[in-house]
Structures are given as C-alpha cells and as structure tokens.
C-alpha cells in the first residue's frame, strides 16, 4: 500500500522558516518524481514544486521561487520542502504527491498524502 505522510507543519511567524517532510512507503520511491501541492483554507489547489527521481530536475511555482527549496533523499524514502521567508499568503494545507513517472511532465499525481497545515501568523 502506498503511503505518504507529511510532517513538520504548524504555526510560524511571518519571515521565519519551516521544513516539511514527507515519508514515503509502499513503492519504489527512487523511481518516481515527487511534488508539493498546497491548498489555502477553503480555496483551490496550487502546485508548489516538483523534483525528478534523481533530483537533477526541479521546478517551482512563481509564488515560491527563490524562497522554497525542494529536495529528496532516496536512501531515506523522504521528500522535503524548505520554506524560508514565510508570508501570510503561504498559509495552506501542504500535500506531498507522487508522480506517475520518473520525471515530471510525463504523468499526473496518482497518490497524495493527507496533508499538513502550515499557519503563518504573528
């Protein structure tokens, strides 16, 4: 059974940093691209970032580029999102999602974690 479990969320002040983690199991993690997608409370889905299976290709949405960094550790079956200089508009549920292929833009997202709420407030 594929499982994706996010951790590391919570309340953080504007301008501070936070690191999200996603622990993967039930599939060969190193074979697939991975993504972060966020959803502000009561709003729609926004793709945040993606990383290819071998970390050679990464991409970011415009609203987070330069502030967020995606990474992965295939030995630990884990995906990360380092979020710096957080803003109130970054407040959202952050989902970890598995790609259907080893690189993104080759398939959609077939498994999602339950999500982790990040609150940015003073």
Partner 1 sequence: DIVMTQSPDSLAVSLGERATISCKSSQSVLYRSDNKNYLAWFQQKPGQPPKLLLYWASTRDSGVPDRFSGSGSGTDFTLTITSLQAEDVAVYYCQQYYSTPITFGQGTRLEI
Instruction: Write out the residues near partner 1 by the rule CB under 8 A.
Output: 35, 37, 44-47, 50, 59-62, 95, 100, 104-110, 112-115
- Bridge partners (DSSP) of residue 96 are 36
20 CB-contact burial (10 Å; exposed 0-12 / middle 13-18 / buried 19+): buried
Nearer to partner 1 by Cβ, of 27 and 112: the residue is 112
Nearer to partner 1 by Cβ, of 32 and 95: the residue is 95
Contact 99, 24 (CB under 8 A): no
Rounded to the nearest whole angstrom, what is the least distance from the CB of residue 89 to partner 1 in the complex?
16
- Spatial separation of the C-alpha atoms in residues 83 and 25, rounded to whole Å: 24
Rounded to the nearest whole angstrom, what is the least distance from the CB of residue 17 to partner 1 in the complex?
23
């Amino acid at each position: 059974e594929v499982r994706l479990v996010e951790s590391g969320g919570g309340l953080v002040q504007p301008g501070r940093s936070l690191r999200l983690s996603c622990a993967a199991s039930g599939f060969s993690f190193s074979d697939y691209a991975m993504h972060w997608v966020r959803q502000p409370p009561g709003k729609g889905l926004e793709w945040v970032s993606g990383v290819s299976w071998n970390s050679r290709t990464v991409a970011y949405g415009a609203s987070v580029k330069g502030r967020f960094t995606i990474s992965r550790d295939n030995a630990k079956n884990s995906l990360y999102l380092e979020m710096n200089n957080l803003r109130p508009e970054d407040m959202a549920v952050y989902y970890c999602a598995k790609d259907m292929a080893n690189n993104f833009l080759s398939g959609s997202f077939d498994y999602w974690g339950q999500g982790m709420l990040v609150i940015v407030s003073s």
